[in-house]
Structure 1
């Protein structure tokens, strides 16, 4: 049987993982990447350590982390899930470790390990990797595709489209007949100008709660004050789940922040029991809540309470002010900041047009799609990569079986 020609458009996580799992005795494979480097998102993920996946091994539980694509991914994860990802890398002498927050990283703590493993796997199969190759046109021919790039033309028996969510790549696939759900940013930080946060960049809160009353949405988790406003998992999660609604609000809305992550009544009890045990302390030197001294002093300043005031002399009214600033702090969000490098979008190819048993297009013959080009995205923590690995693995299995 003659070897088939496969062109993989996009040299990111999904494209490379698909190639790494293809049978080289059956295919000629060429990966086309428009940038000068492949696997760029893998390189910068997790602060350069590469957050490969997440230690959640039950597909039904795993899909709960995907605001878009959760129904479709159940069957995909039943065939290839984080446990399989661990095994795949371990078989290639790249053990993954699970951190306390369940995120998975290579034991080397370097994304280069993951990049080297994927590129080595592809090169050992003698597949071609062509960088600085911009796809301009894809034309269906009889049982094949003609792919025109900025430098040359390729003929493909099968196309694997793993371009990410760039507008150009979405336009190209739309021109070929696929429906595109308009992309909007997901996973972004909130820009806030508020005296509570001013000059406190880097201050973090392990168990904050954030709600958007207008959207009846609440999230909890670690939170961080940044130069622009607020970030951290609690903020990023809420931005992912409400990506479309927040775009409609043009990123202007009110949030209510509970820096402590406990009820106001419980906070009041903590305060009172601390006061009865430390009646002689000044309010400024009192360590009552799990917050930094600088932040505590800011709360007292906002509440117009002198730091030298004795804790026993704090009135009920003053305590209420403190607790409102800590547990029910209302702030206006005036915009968003996206991590340019780890940019994730909600939107992409309409999921009804994909067969999730194989990741094949229902619109175009012999055409597969995977990764961020699809209207699938997840919260932060290794989930977006896991979707790429699983979808790409399915494509490779389907192609390998077809040719057997």
Structure 2
């Protein structure tokens, strides 16, 4: 018999368990984990370094990184934000460092530091960890000889457990979603959220690893809805999906923050399009096409004796410049003095408005994130308790909240884990 059972041994589950145990040491707490390993996503995140959170300390700004959950998370982030996460780890001897892009990692540069912190804290606090316990049933129960406690029966593949309250932190788990549907909850169908774009194009073929700052638009005449994303210097408010940031050319196409932001904000729309669409890339976002043409005409006058291919007249990687020059029908031996205006117009377009066909997607590393889950209308965000069933709580990505890459998905886990823990610990257990 447990006071609280947490279904799911991931980031949100452990964080909540630790806070419940600290807030109410008398509680008997168990974590049910379906696998033999816990915290697997924590371990692989951030390339094995664990991107713990993001150095954005204003809740009103932090919520802008959540395509689903922006409105609902405003209150929770005012209760528990990035600074609170930093304090939690600092109290346990783990210092987090801030990188240039705002991402925060443990100073040790290894996710094992975070994993060890959680598992050692769980052991210290007497939290029972039940591995290989895939949950197959979740049911409400009344007092009986079998269950002296009115609350919940959770059946794993091994045995049945009873508890007054349960916290579900299973992330994107279709089997658990089905069990929650049986309890009356609405599940928003899941679709991939963080993914890279598959593009086969001579302009980027053969130059994987090239990275540069770029602006990217998803092109479509009619969009289901208006999408606005904060950019570096302005806000896109037209009916197009637009993002700006580092863009990485890969063996299979394009990745990097600029692409991943588009994949998150456009998750449902791009799924509806079966991941077949066109994007427009501006490799030099400070320029428009006409302004770039004027710059190239100036360079033509100054660098007349040099070949176009070897000049690299603008601030993009050399290998990318070479590919875009060739795509503009300018051969290797052509000098600036001999390049035609038509060729320069084509080059200006390639630099600021090149169109690329996307044919499919690829999962972003091991950090698979989905849009979907328990409908947000059915959750009380002051406590993360279900509005449908009493003493059923949620935390993490099991609900329809997801974020762009950069530590934001983990911050959602910490915030929801903390707030649900406080609500659970505050409720009296009646035997």
TM-score range, shorter chain: over 0.9
Q: Quick check: 184-193 or 74-83, which moved more?
A: 184-193
- Deviation digits for residues 237-272 of structure 1 (CA, Å, limit 9, x no counterpart): 011111111111111111111122232233234323
For residues 93 and 273 of structure 1, the distance between their equivalents in structure 2, rounded to whole angstroms, comes to: 57
Aligned to 2:266: 242
Aligned to 1:147: 154
For residues 196 and 213 of structure 1, the distance between their equivalents in structure 2, rounded to whole angstroms, comes to: 22
Determine whether 1:308 maps to 2:336.
no
For residues 16 and 340 of structure 1, the distance between their equivalents in structure 2, rounded to whole angstroms, comes to: 23
Matches within 5 A, 1:5-404: 5-23=3-21, 25-142=25-142, 143-214=150-221, 215=223, 216-261=240-285, 262-339=287-364, 341-403=366-428
- Deviation digits for residues 99-154 of structure 1 (CA, Å, limit 9, x no counterpart): 11011111111111111111111110111111111000011102211111111111
For residues 111 and 301 of structure 2, the distance between their equivalents in structure 1, rounded to whole angstroms, comes to: 52
- Deviation digits for residues 56-95 of structure 1 (CA, Å, limit 9, x no counterpart): 1111111111000111101100100001101111111101
- Deviation digits for residues 207-264 of structure 1 (CA, Å, limit 9, x no counterpart): 3333333441111111111111111111110111111111111111111111222322
Q: Are the aligned partners of 1:4 and 1:26 in contact in 2 as well (CA < 8 Å)?
A: no
For residues 35 and 269 of structure 1, the distance between their equivalents in structure 2, rounded to whole angstroms, comes to: 60
* Alignment length (residue pairs): 402
For residues 37 and 308 of structure 2, the distance between their equivalents in structure 1, rounded to whole angstroms, comes to: 56
Q: Secondary structure at the match of 1:21?
A: helix
For residues 353 and 68 of structure 2, the distance between their equivalents in structure 1, rounded to whole angstroms, comes to: 30
For residues 162 and 327 of structure 2, the distance between their equivalents in structure 1, rounded to whole angstroms, comes to: 67
Q: Are the aligned partners of 1:243 and 1:346 in contact in 2 as well (CA < 8 Å)?
A: yes
For residues 18 and 214 of structure 2, the distance between their equivalents in structure 1, rounded to whole angstroms, comes to: 40
For residues 114 and 298 of structure 2, the distance between their equivalents in structure 1, rounded to whole angstroms, comes to: 51
TM-fit CA distance, 1:397: 1.0
For residues 177 and 291 of structure 2, the distance between their equivalents in structure 1, rounded to whole angstroms, comes to: 50
TM-fit CA distance, 1:340: 6.0
Aligned to 2:146: none
Q: Are the aligned partners of 1:270 and 1:288 in contact in 2 as well (CA < 8 Å)?
A: no
Q: Secondary structure at the match of 2:119?
A: helix
Q: Secondary structure at the match of 2:172?
A: coil
Q: Which runs of 4+ in 1 moved over 4 A?
A: none
For residues 187 and 106 of structure 1, the distance between their equivalents in structure 2, rounded to whole angstroms, comes to: 23
TM-fit CA distance, 1:26: 2.2
For residues 216 and 267 of structure 2, the distance between their equivalents in structure 1, rounded to whole angstroms, comes to: 18
- Unaligned ranges ≥5, structure 2: 143-149, 224-239
For residues 207 and 327 of structure 1, the distance between their equivalents in structure 2, rounded to whole angstroms, comes to: 9
Q: Secondary structure at the match of 1:22?
A: helix
Q: Are the aligned partners of 2:290 and 2:348 in contact in 1 as well (CA < 8 Å)?
A: no
RMSD between superposed Cα atoms in Å: 1.5
For residues 255 and 308 of structure 1, the distance between their equivalents in structure 2, rounded to whole angstroms, comes to: 31
Q: Are the aligned partners of 2:297 and 2:344 in contact in 1 as well (CA < 8 Å)?
A: no
- Unaligned ranges ≥5, structure 1: none
TM-score of the aligned structures, taking structure 2 as reference length: 0.90
For residues 340 and 284 of structure 1, the distance between their equivalents in structure 2, rounded to whole angstroms, comes to: 34
For residues 390 and 191 of structure 2, the distance between their equivalents in structure 1, rounded to whole angstroms, comes to: 29
Q: Are the aligned partners of 1:30 and 1:130 in contact in 2 as well (CA < 8 Å)?
A: yes
Q: Secondary structure at the match of 2:4?
A: strand
